[in-house]
Structure 1
Amino acid sequence: MPHAQISDDVSLFYTEHGKGGPPILLVHGWACDSGDWMWQIPDLAERHKVYVVDLRGHGHSSVTKDCYRGTDYAQDLSRLIEVLGCGPAIVIGHSLGGYIGVHLAVEHPEHVLALICVDPAYAPSMAAPDPSELISALRSESCHDLMEQLFTSFADASTPAFLTTWHLRRLLTVPRHVISESIAGMTTNNVVNVDQAMLRLRSCPTLTFFRSADDSAWEDAAAGTGPGMTMTWDGAGHWLHQERPIEFNAIVTKWIDEIC
């Protein structure tokens, strides 16, 4: 099983696919794992070397007691890119992975050629009214019951039932503290800490998919110094890249060809 030792206590599970370039790094979301990208790997690997990673605390990677902030996850990926010698890379992140991608692009810009975020977790429409209340609930024994409610709400009427079932079963394998501390690590003073000011610090080309037009407008108002593009997909659930993979893959590969 391929692992990269990126620090004394963290080993990240990853797989490599395809050949060519520029390289692509796929980053999954909260309480998920690298299997989320099975719909994208074959298409992207036709023309790129694709690296697919399990974040710390998820999948087959190391589970640590703490260090689940966006900057911690981004540091992990920065070290992974250095260890594998695969940078700068096009980083594609879903949900929490998009949030981490912004941290990586801002804090380690030398490793990010371009950034694609898929319904990122910093979107205003996904913000909890009171993050501290959510974090407290996730730290309790009812954590996985609450997660089941949240993940069910992420589906749309068009979301296939088998996808929702898969997502719900898998989240039961994620340790409770990884779930809660990943959300706690996203907030500062009870506010999600990827805001418009941070988005403006991005210098690489960006493409962001949202389910809400309001989220797209919010991000458009926070354009970084690199070229940016947002897309709104109505009628799709949170895992839109799994629900409409043919369309998603075509848009992503076309955009990569244009900016690289």
Structure 2
Amino acid sequence: MRAPQFDIQYVTLHGHRRAFVKVGSGPVILLLHGLACDHTTWSPVIAELAKRYTVIAPDLLGHGQSAKPRADYTLGGYANGMRDLLTVLDIDRATVVGHSFGGGVAMQFSYQFPERTERLMLVSAGGLGAEVTPLIKAIQGFGWEPAMRLITRPGIRHAVTGVMRASTGLWPKHTRDLDEVADIVDSWADRRTRFAIRHLVRAVIDWRGQIVTMSDRAYLTEALPLAVLWGEDDQVLPARHLEIARTLAPGAITELFEDAGHFPHKDHPEEFVAFVDRFMTETEPSDYSRETVAELLRRGSLVDIPTAEGGDAPVDPVPAALVR
């Protein structure tokens, strides 16, 4: 497992320990990691971002050094947890950046707490189409837990993760992210982590793919600055979901990183930081207005959008109010 590069702080919320990194000064950026990862996935970019921003990178509940209780692992539960973390840190508002599953949490946070969201940035995010790698679908299956108990036994786990790390980048399009996968397999040696991940996956994915989508409420982001970034060779969530994002929000700042997989912030950290800087400098923080939200809710009529190509299920309709 990667060693943390920054001092980890802890706070107890509702009886459960939450781990996080807080560095830098300036406008606040909240970095939300993906499924089965932790804050160290952001290590290639935290130090540079902290030169201009206050960076908060938590370990989500059930991940990393945060507690792994029998608890609420829904998107709404995670959004509530991030609100409470910001509150105890005496932070009113933040630009929320979410990667993969963390993108779904970021979207949910912006929906539940628009008054606390200055901007929303999605990085290879869930919630933009049905498609997802079968390896994640398998987590909800009956055989996943016994298979993981076997694979994560010390001798077997070291052999499996050693092969993964040695194979990273050999066939870039398909093996670029194997070092991250190896870290995930290492974390699954902890039974409590496996429990949390399985319950999380069941809340957002079924055998057909992703259940949760932003499209039914996406029109509520009309007044919210939005950026979407994807890796061209993403094998977890296909890069064509970026086109869905562009259909949902044609005013968003978007970019497709070439020679990048599911972790574009790791593959091209300098370009990632430059993209964040562009987003922060070219947009103004959202000015929340309850009257504006009420008007959006009243006129949120539905229109059709294309089905996700190759997906197992159609994408939900897009509210016309988002098409600006």
TM-score over 0.5 for the pair: yes
TM-superposed CA distance for 1:124, in Å, is 2.5
Distance across 1 between alignment mates of 2:100 and 2:248: 18
- Indicate yes or no: 2:28 matched with 1:4: no
> Per-residue deviation at 1:164?
5.0
Q: How much does 1:114 deviate?
A: 0.6
Correspondence for 2:289:
none
- Alpha-carbon contact 1:90-1:114 (below 8 Å) kept: yes
Shift of 1:82: 1.1
Change (3 A) 1:132 1:28: closer
Asked if 1:231 corresponds to 2:231, the answer is no
The TM-score normalised by the length of structure 1 is 0.84
State the distance in 2 between where 1:186 and 1:86 align: 29
With normalisation by structure 2, the TM-score equals 0.69
Alignment of 1:140 onto 2:157: no
Q: Distance in 2 between matches of 1:41 and 1:87?
A: 21
* Contact preservation (8 Å) 2:76, 2:105: yes
**1:110: how far off?**
1.6
- Map of 1:210 onto structure 2: 230
**Partner residue, 2:247:** 221
Q: CA deviation at 1:36?
A: 0.8
8 Å contact kept, 1:93–1:100: yes
Q: Label 1:165 to 1:11 Cα distance change in 2 as closer, same or farther (>3 A).
A: closer
- Aligned-CA RMSD value: 3.2
Is 1:254 aligned to residue 268 of structure 2? Answer: no
Q: What is the aligned partner in structure 2 of residue 24 from structure 1?
A: 29
Report if aligned partners of 1:25, 1:52 keep a CA contact under 8 Å in 2: yes
CA contact (8 A) 2:230 2:242 kept: yes
1:124 to 126, 129, 154: 129
Alpha carbons 1:88, 1:112 under 8 Å: kept: yes
CA–CA distance in 2 between the matches of 1:213 and 1:128? 12
2:77 to 69, 72, 89: 72
Identify if the C-alpha distance between structure 1 residues 38 and 133 changes in structure 2 by more than 3 Å, giving closer, same or farther.
Answer: closer
Instruction: Summarize the Cα distance change of 1:132–1:239 in structure 2 as closer, same or farther, 3 Å threshold.
Output: closer
**Which deviates more from structure 2 when the two are superposed, residues 37-46 or residues 179-188?**
179-188
Instruction: Report deviation, 1:97.
Output: 0.7
Counterpart selection for 1:192 from 211, 222, 239: 211
Looking at structure 2, the residues matched to 143 and 130 of structure 1 have their Cα atoms a distance apart, in angstroms, of 13
Give the distance between the partners of 2:96 and 2:202, measured in 1 at CA.
23
- Cα distance between partner residues in 2 of 1:188 and 1:195: 17
